[in-house]
């Protein structure tokens, strides 16, 4: 025998479902996001806002997102197959043995060496390969160091002064053992600009 629901009972069930939907919508869609946002703003205001970097009283970018730098006066970041577009993150999907990748890496290594006036053997891997996200904001200290002379000359600074800026902006491994030492390109370039302005 098949049980049938009366219109009255069906109405009660529908109303109960609507109440549950309304309560869950308010709790999960409004109260929870507001609570999490409030806690994040109170505990980590800088990170909650996207870790903005300020220069001359305005935001010039995020410390979490790489950007394109052109000109000899700036430190350059890693290559990006998406042109640093945060809406198109991801790797180039070429395998390590793919002839196209091998050719691109070889060409990039020579270009970086020529641009910075260093031997090709001094060019580190991150100078010629993109990151998995294509918007990595950091470079290795080795890549920063081979750019030091070029940046110093272009900004009329001493090589030692620029090297000190690189050392000051070099971050160690997270918790002492996670990841690799790194230099945030945006923060470093902001510091270079300040030093160049002060030297004028």
Q: At what angle do helices 159-168 and 185-199 cross, to 10 degrees?
A: 140
Give the span between the Cα atoms of 89 and 128, in whole angstroms: 18
> 93-131, pLDDT tens digit by residue?
777 788 888 898 999 999 999 999 999 999 999 999 988
Give the span between the Cα atoms of 113 and 140, in whole angstroms: 16
Give the span between the Cα atoms of 159 and 138, in whole angstroms: 21
Residue 180 DSSP one-character state: -
What token pair was written down for 171? 């971050």
Over residues 40-63, the mean pLDDT reads 82
The reported pTM is: 0.78
> 21-34, pLDDT tens digit by residue?
999 999 999 989 98
Over residues 23-48, the mean pLDDT reads 85
């Amino acid at each position: 025998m098949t049980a049938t629901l009366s219109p009255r009972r069906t109405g009660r069930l529908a109303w109960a479902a609507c109440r549950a939907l309304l309560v869950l919508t308010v709790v999960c869609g409004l109260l929870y996001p507001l609570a999490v946002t409030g806690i994040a703003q109170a505990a980590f205001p800088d990170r909650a806002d996207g870790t903005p970097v300020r220069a001359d009283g305005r935001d010039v970018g995020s410390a979490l997102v790489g950007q394109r730098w052109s000109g000899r006066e700036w430190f350059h970041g890693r290559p990006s197959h998406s042109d640093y577009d945060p809406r198109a993150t991801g790797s180039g999907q070429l395998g390590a043995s793919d002839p196209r990748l091998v050719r691109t890496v070889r060409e990039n290594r020579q270009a970086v060496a020529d641009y910075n006036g260093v031997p090709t053997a001094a060019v580190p891997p991150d100078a010629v390969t993109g990151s998995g996200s294509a918007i990595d904001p950091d470079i290795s200290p080795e890549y920063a160091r081979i750019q030091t002379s070029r940046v110093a000359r272009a900004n009329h600074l001493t090589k030692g002064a620029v090297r000190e800026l690189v050392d000051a902006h070099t971050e160690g491994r997270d918790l002492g053992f996670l990841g690799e030492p790194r230099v945030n390109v945006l923060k470093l370039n902001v510091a270079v600009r300040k030093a160049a302005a002060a030297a004028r």
